[in-house]
Structure 1
Amino acid sequence: MQRHERIIRLTRRLVERPMAPISISALADAWGAAKSTLSEDVQLVREVLAEDGSGRVETLVGAQGGVRFVPQVARDRAEAFLWDVARRLASPDRVIAGEFLYASDVLGDPDVIDTAGAMVASRFAHAGVEVVVTVETKGIPLAASAARYLHAPLAIVRREQRVTEGASLTTHYVSGSAKRIQTMSLSTRLVPRGARALIVDDFMRAGATARAVAELIGEFGGEVCGTAVFMATSQPAQKMVADYVALLEVGPVREGGFDVRPNLGALERRASHVD
């Protein structure tokens, strides 16, 4: 196998499976190449991806060994992306009855969801995420994208318990927006006992849903290592969850449209869970 073909295959394996460890020894055996040669290839790919700002290639030590690709969205690209999405959402024709913001088309745009998922994954790449948890239904695309970039399974909290989900844990909570008692359930097979979970959703107003999900995860003996949402309202300023990341902040209706702004603080990488 010639070097250019080897590099293309190596890059594709890394980028197509973010956060998944790749054994250099296994590749050396499969491709009939020396490990030292592959290490040189990895270094070249690492330099190119770092210069491009699309991610980092990390070397894994210990029992895992090998390398993995950690997704990243270059800051200038991330800022441009957030401002573009904010402009789309701020349009006056998106205000619907009850002063709600229509965003289903944006949340269904594959380019938006892919980039937003990569941004969430980059922020929590070193938080030790073992499962991504979301609530049906609008948050599923973003959560699925983040889960793919984090190489973690996706667990969906249901509004109603389903027979097909098997045994489930159920909780009741008071919705922050509707001000009424809601129910949610999570299959006991979806979240491993004691798993570190990242909560991902499309929207946060008061944070009641996110807090209820966190409490549900706690029933599994799990630990919430972060909460990320596509949009969060500026009011109430004090949410029911202490720590969360929102890509966009939605303010009050002004001149017929919502005041939507990027939360540039979301671009700062979260402190590492592991050194």
Structure 2
Amino acid sequence: MKVKRSERLIDITQYLMARPKTLIPLTFFSARYESAKSSISEDLAIVKRTFAARGTGILQTVPGAAGGVRYIPAVSREFAETFLQSMAARLAEKERLLPGGYVYLSDLLGQPTILNDIGRLIATQYVRNSVDVVMTVATKGIPIAQATASFLNVPFVIVRRDSKVTEGSTVSVNYVSGSSNRIEKMELSKRSLREGAKVLVVDDFMKGGGTVNGMRTLINEFDAELVGIAVFAEAIFSGKPMVSNYSSLLRVDDVDTEAQTIVANPGNYLEKTTFLEDLTQAVPER
């Protein structure tokens, strides 16, 4: 049974957005809706214009017999600026102060809409890179890794600080905590990461960079490749940070426990990211 255009547009949009960075042949949609390729092409042109106009992302067309269309998730600079300013204001709430100069984030990272936007922002930065897997450390980085992996349409792996019998044999490394200068251990199941995999590291909060540096060491142990490092928030660190090439959505510039004040601003994400309006370079196939 043929499907009306209005119904096709809704279903095509949902199908593409549920499978980011996946090449879908036009013949698939033609058979799905029992419609001519010319009609499907017109539908996709409408979706493409709407995605661009609404800041949803890019609908990339791949020509040729083996071609098709692919949804590339991306945000506009305006969306990113508005979101980060809003999150910076939330981070500056004095009720978030924790001992040691840390800031309470769990309520923010427990909200699906916020996590969804965090995932979109990080995915936008790395959408032109070839990423095979997103890596984080248990536990608070897990929702960020899941959101990011969802938009990049890749798996995510969880590095742990203690052994789990369900993980099987593991690879472990010792690392120095940047903030406390203690030697700690982290490990990852041998089955989680293949040799040569391109890895994007994400985490919720970074101070000295010791945990992120530990994950970088672990990636090297697997003979995998580090593609990038992205954190939700970073704190100003008085010592020498253990990582330098990273992006942060937010930055905690000052914490005064006596005055009960927090100064938070957008991090370096805006200057390190190519946004929707400038994403003209072809995105590599997975």
Report TM bin, short chain.
Answer: over 0.9
Matched with 1:4 is 6
| Aligned position for 2:218 | 216
| Per-residue deviation, 1:250 | 0.8
| Structure 1 residues 64 and 232: CA distance shift in structure 2, 3 A | farther
**Alignment partner of 2:155 out of 130, 133, 153:** 153
**Deviation at residue 56 of structure 1 after TM alignment:** 0.7
CA contact 1:127–1:273 (8 Å) conserved in 2: no
State how far apart, in whole Å, the 2-side matches of 1:55 and 1:203 are.
27
Distance 1:221 1:194 in 2: 6
Aligned pairs for 1:199-238 (under 5 A) are 199-236=201-238
Q: CA RMSD in A?
A: 2.1
Q: Indicate how the Cα distance of structure 1 residues 226 and 240 shifts in structure 2: closer, same or farther if over 3 A, else same.
A: same
CA distance in 2, matches of 1:63, 1:173: 50
Are the aligned partners of 2:198 and 2:225 in contact in 1 as well (CA < 8 Å)? yes
Count of residues in correspondence between the two structures: 275
The match for 2:274 is 269
Unaligned runs of 5+ in 2: none
SS of 1:114 mapped into structure 2: helix
Which of 256, 261, 281 is the aligned partner of 1:257?
261
Match of 1:178 in 2: 180
Distance in 2 of aligned mates of 1:45 and 1:239:
45
- TM-score (norm: length of structure 2): 0.89
- Helix, strand or coil: the match of 2:149? helix
After superposition, residues 83-162 of structure 1 pair within 5 angstroms as 83-162=85-164
2-side partners of 1:237 and 1:123: how far apart?
A: 28
Three-state SS of the structure 2 residue aligned to 1:210 is: helix
Q: Which of the residues 17, 22, 25 maps onto 2:24? A: 22
Q: Partner amino acid for 2:153?
A: H
- CA separation in 2, counterparts of 1:70 and 1:93? 38
Query: Contact 2:247/2:268 (CA < 8 Å) preserved in 1?
Result: no
Stretch moving more, 135-144 or 54-63: 54-63
- The CA distance in 2 between the partners of 1:180 and 1:237, in whole Å, is 14
Question: In the TM superposition, what is the alpha-carbon distance from 1:190 to its structure 2 partner?
Answer: 1.3
**Aligned position for 1:166:** 168
Does structure 2 retain, via aligned residues, the 8 Å contact 1:124–1:269?
no
**CA pair 245-61 structure 1, distance change in 2 beyond 3 A:** farther
Counterpart among 79, 83, 90 of residue 81 in structure 2: 79
Structure 1's unaligned 5+ residue stretches are none
Change in Cα spacing, 1:132 to 1:99, as seen in structure 2 (3 Å) is: same
Q: Distance in 1 between matches of 2:105 and 2:283?
A: 36
What SS does the aligned partner of 2:67 have? coil
- Does the 8 A contact of 1:235 with 1:251 survive in 2? no
Equivalent-residue separation in structure 2 for 1:236 and 1:199 (angstroms): 23
Whole-angstrom CA distance in 2 between matches of 1:164 and 1:94:
35
Q: 1:266 to 1:94 in 2, by over 3 A?
A: same
Asked whether the equivalents of residues 128 and 273 of structure 1 are also in contact (C-alpha less than 8 Å), the reply is no
The range that moved more, 114-123 or 78-87, is 78-87
Task: List aligned pairs for 1:33-72, cutoff 5 A.
Answer: 33-60=35-62, 65-72=67-74
Question: Are the counterparts in 2 of residues 229 and 247 from structure 1 also a CA contact under 8 Å?
Answer: yes
Shift of 1:61: 5.2
